[in-house]
Amino acid sequence: MIDRLRGVQLTAAFPYVLLVVFALCFAVVPPVMGYEVSSINLFNVGQSFATYAPLALGLALLMIAGEFDLSLAALYGLGAMLAVKTGADSPLTGVLVAVAVAAAVGLVNGLLVTIGGLNSVSVTLGSYIAVSGLLLIISDNASVPYLNYEVGLNLDSVLMTVLSRRSLIAIALFVVVGAVLRFTRWGRDLRAIGGDRRASRVAGVRVRRMLIATFVVAAVLAAVPGALLGYSLSSASPAYGGFPSLVFAITAVLIGGVALSGGQGTALGAAAGVLSLALLRETLAVVAAPSYASDLISGALLTAIAILAAPHLLRGARARRWVNTRPQVSEAAA
């Protein structure tokens, strides 16, 4: 029991320890290698956070509830495309259109998983393929320009040296969702659903309604950063809806302490995971490291997370060593 509690505590602390480690590496490694770190590099970290953090937050909510959504990657790209296509005269209208369509897709996913009793991975894989096809139809398989350049300039203008309006929006989303997750019944019920769905039903939690709402919220959190990215880059491309953005989000959420088994995780931990990966990427970019270096380090981190989340493996290894050495001791005694 003590070993188990130690493993849980270590896993809970891991995202923040990792963030401190990557922050120190960001501050120390480039100067040691003869490279200079400036406020622009910190600004780039904030921009990476703005680009990926809301997507990771939506994924974290679903994983806490014990579900998953592969279609978030496609909704991310669709959000950019719809905003660029419909927001020429009114950027807010473009964002609202992206949010409405994403919410509709999330609603369908939630209904199929809860009422239909289908597996969320298979359902959302189908949604990913369908939304990706819709994205190709809307864009005619080509990049679409956004001619209202002022919107992107305003979103990415430097504020307080290292922030932008886009990164402030991402931070605000984390604050709101994190507060709801931490201090409201909705957050407690969501963790209960992820921990034990049957017991949650017995306790009176409206599981279906909660899960449907979570799928909708996650879809919206994927569409919003996509829409803002389209404005920021003054264009939208079908490539924005690919899996790389989802891979980043999954990695950030896992190293942020959100368990695949459900019932465990916080918005703050997910934010720490996103910042850790953003710092890693910027550090490697400053020192001109090969592009594959980030993938290798991220893979090693995920392996470490898997070990930390399963302390029984370590206990099993100690038990096997004890069994292997026991005959030798007996023979020596004989």
Domains and CATH numbers, the chain: 14-333 (1.10.3470)
Q: Residue 86 region, left (φ>0) first, then alpha (ψ -120 to 50), else beta?
A: alpha
Predicted local distance difference test score (pLDDT) of residue 11: 61
Give the chain's count of helices (H) and strands (E).
Answer: 14, 2
Structure tokens at 20: 């401190």
The DSSP code sequence of 306-322 is HHHT-HHHHHHHHHHHH
Tell me the torsion sign for CA atoms 125, 130, 131, 137.
positive
- Cα 200 to Cα 4, 92, 97, 204: the distances in Å are 24, 39, 35, 6
Q: Chain-wide mean pLDDT for the chain? A: 85
pTM of the model: 0.86
Q: What is the pLDDT along the chain (334 residues), one digit of tens a residue?
A: 444 434 444 467 778 988 999 999 999 988 988 888 888 999 999 999 999 999 999 999 999 999 999 999 999 999 999 999 998 889 999 999 999 999 999 999 999 999 988 899 999 999 999 999 999 999 888 889 988 889 989 999 988 888 999 999 999 999 999 999 889 888 888 988 988 888 888 888 888 999 999 999 999 999 999 999 999 999 988 888 777 888 889 889 988 888 887 888 889 999 999 999 999 889 988 888 887 777 787 778 777 766 665 544 445 444 445 445 555 444 444 4
Ranges of H-type helices in 87-206: 91-114, 120-139, 149-155, 165-183, 185-195, 197-202
Cα–Cα distance between 126 and 122 in angstroms, integer?
Answer: 6
Predicted local distance difference test score (pLDDT) of residue 314: 45
- Cα 33 to Cα 18, 37, 41, 268: the distances in Å are 22, 11, 16, 32
